[in-house]
Amino acid sequence: MALRLATLMAALALAACTPVTFSHDAVIDFQTFDSVYVQPIVVDGNTIFDGYSISLQQDLVGELRDRSGFRSVTTEPDGRYVTVLSVELYVTENYDPIFDDDDDDDDRFTVEASWYLRTLDGDRIDGGSASEDGDYLEDTAREVIGEIAHRYLRAYRL
Amino acid sequence: MVRWLGARRWVVASGSTAVFAIAALAAKPAAADETAFGVQGETMLIEDKTVAGLSVYGFYSMFGLQLGFALAWLDEEDPRPPIEGSFIGGLFHVHALVRFAVMQPLTLRAGTGLDAWLLWGIDEDEQKYAMPLVLEARFHVGDHLNLFVQPRYYLIASDGLEIGVAPDGDEGSPFLVTVGVGGEW
Q: What is the pLDDT of residues A50-70, one digit of tens each?
A: 667 778 899 999 999 999 999
Give the global pTM: 0.81
What percent of chain B has pLDDT above 90?
56
The pLDDT value given to residue A69:
93
Widest CA span of chain A, in angstroms?
A: 77
Distance to chain A for B61, nearest Cα, Å:
24
Measure the CA–CA gap between B150 and A19, rounded to whole angstroms.
16
B178 has a pLDDT exceeding 80 = yes
B167, A23: Cβ pair inside 8 Å?
A: yes
**Residue A22 Cα distances to A122, B8, B169, angstroms:** 34, 21, 12
Q: What does the pLDDT average to over B11-15?
A: 58
A82-91, B13-22, B100-109: range with lowest mean pLDDT: B13-22
Q: How far is CA B93 from the centre of its chain?
A: 8
Strand partners, B101: B28, B107
A150, B163: Cβ pair inside 8 Å?
A: no
Strand partners, B68: B55, B93
* ipTM of the complex model: 0.82
The pLDDT value given to residue B21:
57
The residues of chain A scoring below 70 in pLDDT are 1-16, 48-51, 96-106
Confidence of residue B32 (pLDDT cuts 50, 70, 90): very low
Chain B residues with CB under 8 Å of A146 CB are 124-125
Q: Closest-CA residue in chain A for B119? A: A22
A43-47, B112-116, B151-155: range with lowest mean pLDDT: A43-47
Q: Does B77 touch chain A (CB under 8 A)?
A: no
Measure the CA–CA gap between B5 and B96, rounded to whole angstroms.
21
Amino acid code (one letter) for B101: A
A21, B125: Cβ pair inside 8 Å?
A: no
A18, B177: Cβ pair inside 8 Å?
A: yes
The pLDDT value given to residue B106:
87
